[in-house]
Amino acid sequence: MASITNEVAVDMTPFFVLYKNGTINRLRPADNAPLSDDPQAPVRSKDVVVHPETGVSVRIFLPKITDPKQKIPVVIYIHGGAFCMGSARSSTFHNFISSVVEKANFIAVSVDYRLAPENPFDTTYDDSWAAFQWIISHANGKGPDSWLNDHADFAKLFIGGESAGANIANDVVVSAGVTDLDSKIKILGLYLVHPYFGIENDQLYKALNPTRNGGCFEDPRVNPLIDPRLKSMACKKALFFVAEKDPLKEGAMNYYEGLKKSEWNGEIEVMETKGEGHCFHFFKPKSEKAAELVNKLVDFLKQE
């Protein structure tokens, strides 16, 4: 009989294996993208620690600036990875958001939150909220980062991510709706790419929340339709991306339909990609369908 030290709780091969003793084996080596500080590059990037006590950081992306007085919109990006893998430094996420920045001509801030299971599940949300607060502290032009002080237009702020990151981003926007934000800050849109909003018999959620009573659908972060704060969600528009063969599609569409019927009075839209699975655009970035997804996201971000 296998000891609890090596008994598998969730097998997400080829990505990771989570064990019942709370440890994890990440099966893919870290593939970190280098930073670029070339002022002539289409997109520059840098890492900034926002909370020294926890090590929470962000990676900031700045498009080529031709007018030093120009203010441009801000996109906050929260990466996916089942709450257990990835970082703002990962090549997959870095390359994706860098291409969006170049096309949309926005500043992007990619959040590097601490991962489960080494940290409690709640930490992924808490770290992302702390990063959001640090980012918006620049709205008065007096924050700690010069790129955000000099070039960020916080009256045109967008927030989103994919998979687990989309779920976290949704919670940030819901939390922002019941927070007294500076009047200079306007969250125009929320974008949710193949978002996680729970699945039936969710073994990963159970493994990451061993002491929590109830399943994922009883957690208002995973199931925002039971969150009384939802009606005050801070954004004006929400764009859902779903993929036909994605096992997370049902949860995403349930939230989409519920949000349409809720007391939240924003605009909502969904784009479905036929014949593709979860986060296909990362595995086939040069495909026509991946280009369609990116172009739709850029169009959404460039709306007034």
Residues identified as active-site: 163, 246, 278
Are residues 83 and 115 in contact, defined by beta-carbon separation less than 8 angstroms? yes
DSSP letter string, the chain: ---TTS-EEEEETTTEEEETTS-EEE-S---BPPP---TTSSEEEEEEEEETTTTEEEEEEEEPPSSTT--EEEEEEE--STTTS--TTBHHHHHHHHHHHHHHT-EEEEEEPPPTTTS-HHHHHHHHHHHHHHHHTTTTS-SS-HHHHHHEEEEEEEEEEETHHHHHHHHHHHHHTTS---TT--EEEEEEES-----TT-HHHHHH-TT-SS-GGGSTTTSGGG-TTGGG-S-SEEEEEEETT-TTHHHHHHHHHHHHHSS--SEEEEEEETT--TTHHHHSTTSHHHHHHHHHHHHHHT--
Q: Rounded to whole angstroms, what are the CA distances from 258 to 2, 105, 264?
A: 43, 33, 10
